[in-house]
Structure formats: structure tokens, C-alpha cells
């Protein structure tokens, strides 16, 4: 993703001091999942991504390996129908890489008893830089979705709306060209949203929650200006109800995958921390490594999304249910 504003706001870990939190407003020892071990599994997955797989750029062996690994994990879970959504990418003229490149979005769908779909999304490709392992961007959100798949599994249809977990390919730009949301970035989400608009299936999506850069050990989410106002409110009040009211720390617009759905009238939100390291200096650099990410942050995000889900279903789902 890229900020629409070039001025990086100073770290502001202000907000209401949550009970039981330290002086940064970060609750320690957050746990996620009925066994309290969601963050441990997610962190182990992230370690595997960073240390065993490494760089995961679109159209490369690293991303193919990632996809195979994800499919093995998802294949062992109950109730998920996994599909690969392939599309063709042609990097714009002037890009170092030449097309066509095959992009692959990965989708896992768990059918529900109620009408409508809630999408929880992340990108799973990494920035094009030699040696860049993307622990935070976007390893963190990739593994949070995988752990959500474990926690939301079950036999038969789930009680509630259909859940679609979606890992977008090709979110990152092709260097040396700059970010452009319509021509050089967000290739997977753009392609899929366009196709879903054409075949009208996009109408089934009642809410889309995008996660991006959610693992920073010093976590602070933006109230992203382009996100749906009702979803923003819902997530802020959910965070507060978890005693984590300090989780949202600033406000600004961010260009990211969610906008392609947002402009097609899908209520969508981008949960993103865009202040990574001193002066945002770890972003898209080789500093984006496992040691900058914490299991505690993964827990804070995981439990937030888990707690928000029934609220989303209530507020955005079919009435009279
Ligand atoms: Zn990025």
C-alpha cells in the first residue's frame, strides 16, 4: 500500500490508555483463540514464511511455494473450499519485469446458513527487493488469515454468513515505477473486483475487511480515511470492548486493495499500521524481519477480527435473522 499523503505523521501512540496496558498503550499478553494459542501458531507460520520460504514476489517460485504450503494447511481443515483465482498481469512499460506474468489469488470459502458473504483479505506477495522477506508486509496478515481459517473451521455450513478468506496476489508495485492504484499495484484485487462486478457476484459481499502490515511489535492501526465509516466505528468500538482502545492511533488515507471493492459500493475497511520502525524506516526495506514483529500484535489483530465478526454479521447481514 501507499500513503496518499506523502507526509508521514509522527508516531502518536496517544488515545485512551487501555486498562492493563503499558505506557505505549499496548496490552501485553494478548491471547487469541479458544485455546489461547492462536498467536503462537500464527507466529510459527510467519517464521516458516520468513526463514524457509523467503521472498514471495508475484510469479516467482517463492510465491508458488507459499501457495502450495497454504493449500496443505487449508486442505487439512474442515469446511473450507479452496480455489485458485488466476489472472494475467502485464507490468506497465518501464518496469524492470516484463509480462505476461501469472498472478494467483487464493480463496477459501466456508458456506454459511445465512445470506451474504463477509470477506477477510490480505495480500500474500512481497515487495520486489532482493532478500526482502516481508515479515510484516505482508507475512503478518497472511498468517493471521491462515489462523482464522483454523479457528473458523467446522463440519457442514457455519451458523451465520458465508466467510471468504482471500489472499490477493500482486499488491506490490513493479519497480522502478512508482505506485499507482490503477496501473502499477493491487493487480489481484483490481482484476477480481472488476470480474465480480461484471458477473454481479460482487453484490454478495456485504463487508470486506483488509488486513495489511498488522504484525509490528509496536502496533498502531490507522483510521484509514477511505474505509467505510460504519466499519471503522465497529472496529474501534470492538477494540475498546477488548480493553485495547489504544490500538487505533491516527488517521489518513491509504491506497490499498480494499479501494477496488470500495469504489464498487462494497463496505470495506483497511486495518493497517503505517508507521513501521523509527520514522517508518523499516517499510519496504530489509529491516522488515521477524524480530520486528510480535506474536502479541498478531493476537491483538486476531482477537479483534474474531470479536468483530459477529458484530459485522449483525450489522451488515440480512435483516430479520
Ligand atoms: Zn508493501
Distance 125 CA to ligand 1 centre (A): 9
Distance 126 CA to ligand 1 centre (A): 7
Q: Per-residue pLDDT for 24 more than 60?
A: no
Identify the DSSP state of 307. H
Q: What is the dihedral of CA 268, 225, 126, 244, to 10 degrees?
A: -80
All residues at 6 or more sequence positions from 264 whose CB lies less than 8 Å from its CB, including other chains: 193, 196, 197, 202
Helix (H, G, I), strand (E, B) or coil at 259: helix
pLDDT digits (tens, 9 = 90+) for 125-161: 999 999 999 999 999 999 999 999 999 999 999 999 9
Is there a domain that residue 10 lies in? no
Is there a domain that residue 321 lies in? no
Is there a domain that residue 7 lies in? no
Is there a domain that residue 128 lies in? yes
Q: What is the pTM of this model?
A: 0.92
Q: Per-residue pLDDT for 85 more than 50?
A: yes
Q: Which residues of 216-249 are buried (b: 16+ CB within 10 A; e: fewer)?
A: bebbbbbbbebbbeebbebbbebbbebebbbbbb
Do 42 and 48 touch, CB atoms closer than 8 A? no
Output the average pLDDT for the chain: 92
Distance 95 CA to ligand 1 centre (A): 17
Q: Per-residue pLDDT for 21 more than 90?
A: no
pLDDT digits (tens, 9 = 90+) for 233-246: 999 999 999 999 99
pLDDT value for 128: 97
162: domain range? Answer: 16-316
Is there a domain that residue 2 lies in? no
pLDDT value for 15: 31
Is there a domain that residue 9 lies in? no
How far, in Å, CA of 177 to CA of 318, rounded? Answer: 43
Residue 321 pLDDT class (50, 70, 90 cuts):
very low
All residues at 6 or more sequence positions from 193 whose CB lies less than 8 Å from its CB, including other chains: 202, 260, 261, 264
pLDDT value for 319: 83
- In the chain, the percentage of residues whose pLDDT exceeds 90 is 90
SS3 string, 154-216, reads CCCCEEEEEEEEEEECCCCCCCCCCCECCCECCHHHHHHHHHHHHCCHHHHEEEEEEEECCCE
How far, in Å, CA of 140 to CA of 309, rounded? Answer: 19
What is the CATH number for 201? Answer: 3.40.630.10
Average pLDDT over residues 49-56: 98
The tally of domains found in the chain comes to: 1
Is there a domain that residue 195 lies in? yes
Is there a domain that residue 113 lies in? yes
pLDDT value for 28: 85
Distance 213 CA to ligand 1 centre (A): 8
Least confident stretch, 2-6, 182-186, 272-276 = 2-6
Residue 304 pLDDT class (50, 70, 90 cuts):
very high
How many Å separate Cα 260 from the centre of its chain? 15
Amino acid at each position: 500500500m501507499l500513503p496518499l499523503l506523502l507526509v508521514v505523521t509522527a508516531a502518536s501512540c496517544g488515545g485512551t490508555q487501555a486498562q492493563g496496558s503499558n505506557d505505549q498503550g499496548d496490552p501485553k499478553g494478548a491471547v487469541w483463540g479458544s485455546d489461547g494459542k492462536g498467536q503462537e501458531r500464527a507466529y510459527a507460520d510467519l517464521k516458516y514464511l520468513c526463514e524457509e520460504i523467503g521472498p514471495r514476489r508475484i510469479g516467482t517460485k517463492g510465491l508458488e511455494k507459499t501457495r502450495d504450503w497454504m493449500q496443505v494447511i487449508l486442505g487439512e481443515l474442515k469446511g473450507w473450499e479452496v480455489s485458485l483465482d488466476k489472472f494475467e498481469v502485464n507490468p506497465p512499460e518501464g518496469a524492470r519485469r516484463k509480462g505476461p506474468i501469472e498472478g494467483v489469488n487464493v480463496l477459501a470459502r466456508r458456506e454459511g446458513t445465512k445470506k451474504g458473504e463477509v470477506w477477510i483479505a490480505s495480500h500474500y506477495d512481497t515487495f520486489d527487493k532482493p532478500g526482502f522477506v516481508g515479515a510484516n508486509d505482508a507475512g503478518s496478515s497472511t498468517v493471521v488469515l491462515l489462523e482464522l481459517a483454523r479457528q473458523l473451521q467446522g463440519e457442514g455450513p457455519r451458523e451465520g454468513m458465508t466467510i471468504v478468506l482471500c489472499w490477493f496476489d500482486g499488491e506490490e508495485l513493479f519497480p522502478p515505477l512508482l505506485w499507482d492504484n490503477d496501473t502499477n499495484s493491487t493487480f489481484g484485487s483490481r482484476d477480481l473486483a472488476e470480474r465480480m462486478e461484471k458477473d454481479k457476484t460482487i453484490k454478495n459481499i456485504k463487508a470486506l475487511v483488509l488486513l495489511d502490515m498488522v504484525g509490528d511489535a509496536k502496533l498502531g492501526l490507522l483510521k484509514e480515511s477511505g474505509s467505510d465509516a460504519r466499519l471503522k466505528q465497529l472496529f474501534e468500538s470492538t477494540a475498546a470492548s477488548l480493553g485495547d482502545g489504544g490500538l487505533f492511533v491516527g488517521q489518513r488515507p491509504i491506497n490499498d486493495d480494499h479501494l477496488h471493492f470500495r469504489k464498487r459500493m462494497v463496505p470495506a475497511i483497511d486495518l493497517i499500521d503505517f508507521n513501521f520502525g523509527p520514522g517508518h524506516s523499516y517499510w519496504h526495506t530489509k529491516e522488515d524481519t521477524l524480530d520486528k514483529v510480535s506474536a502479541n500484535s498478531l493476537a491483538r489483530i486476531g482477537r479483534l477480527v474474531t470479536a468483530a465478526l459477529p458484530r459485522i454479521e449483525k450489522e451488515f447481514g440480512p435483516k430479520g435473522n
